[in-house]
């Protein structure tokens, strides 16, 4: 398994003009990004909720994305095998669930899974050169937060309205 911060560092050189929806890794990404106006931390729906948050679906997001086949979409799943925001309870069957196989079965043309940072570093350029949609699952070490939600350090410093205004300004430029 990998540390999320170390994994995200590997993406920085490839960022270019990509819009990043950082999810739970956002607390690390805010220290790595050089284009915060293209970062869209809309809420913090834990447990892989960003794609579902955006499309209003759950597991159906895989089939929906595969059907629409956006050539510029790279779907990255950080799997810590637990519910880290609620105390670290284990996700059922987490060690045996092959999310990359689920993505392929849903119709993603490209899917992969990694547990080791060196393997990611080796394969990342090739994965990012593929046309989307591309799905990649990463096994990361849990970062369990046991402090009450209201007492946790906020890593999101912009309001939702500011995030959207920044993104609109960047896209209109």
Residue with the bigger pLDDT between 6 and 163: it is 6
Name the pLDDT band for 56 (thresholds 50, 70, 90).
very low
Which tens digit of pLDDT belongs to each residue from 60-111? 888 999 999 999 999 998 888 877 777 778 888 889 999 999 999 999 999 9
Q: What is the rounded CA–CA span in Å between residue 131 and residue 109?
A: 9
Give me the pLDDT at residue 43, please: 59
Q: Where are the domains of the chain?
A: 4-172
pLDDT of residue 57: 58
In the prediction, which pLDDT does 88 show?
Answer: 75
Task: Considering only residues 41 and 45, tell me which one the structure prediction assigns the higher pLDDT.
Answer: 41
> Each residue of 78-87: b (16+ CB within 10 Å) or e?
bbbbbebbee
- pLDDT bin (cut points 50, 70, 90) of residue 27 is confident
From the list 154, 158, 133, the residue with the least C-alpha distance to 67 is 133
Report in angstroms the alpha-carbon separations of 132 from 32, 75, 80, 138: 24, 9, 24, 18
More confident residue, 28 or 130: 130
- Phi/psi of residue 69, each to 5°? 50, 55
Domain 4-172 sits in CATH 3.40.109.10: no
Query: What global pTM score does this model have?
Result: 0.81
Predicted local distance difference test score (pLDDT) of residue 19 = 86
- Compute the Cα dihedral for 103, 132, 58, 87 and give only its sign: positive
- Helices 117-129 and 4-11 meet at what angle, rounded to 10? 30
Q: How confident is the model at residue 3 (pLDDT cuts 50, 70, 90)?
A: very high
pLDDT band at 156; cut points 50, 70, 90: confident
Q: How many helices (H) and strands (E) does the chain have?
A: 7, 5
- 3-class SS string, 78-130: EECCEEHHHCCEECCCCCCCCHHHHHHHHCCCEEEEECCHHHHHHHHHHHHHC
Stretch 103-129: mean pLDDT: 97
């Amino acid at each position: 398994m990998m540390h999320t911060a170390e994994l995200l560092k590997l993406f920085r050189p490839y960022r270019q003009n990509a819009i990043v929806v950082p999810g739970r890794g956002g607390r690390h990404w805010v220290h790595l990004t050089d284009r915060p106006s293209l970062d869209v931390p809309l809420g913090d729906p834990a447990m892989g909720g960003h794609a579902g948050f955006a499309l209003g679906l759950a597991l159906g997001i895989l089939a929906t994305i595969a059907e629409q086949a956006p050539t510029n979409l790279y779907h990255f799943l950080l799997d810590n095998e637990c519910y880290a925001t609620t105390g670290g309870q284990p996700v059922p069957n987490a060690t045996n669930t092959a999310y990359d196989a689920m993505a392929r079965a849903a119709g993603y043309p490209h899917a992969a899974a990694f547990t080791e940072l060196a393997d990611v570093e080796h394969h990342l350029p090739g994965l990012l050169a593929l046309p989307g949609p591309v799905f990649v699952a990463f096994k990361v070490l849990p970062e369990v937060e046991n402090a009450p939600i209201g007492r946790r350090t906020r890593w999101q410093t912009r309001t939702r309205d500011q995030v959207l205004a920044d993104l609109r300004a960047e896209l209109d430029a």
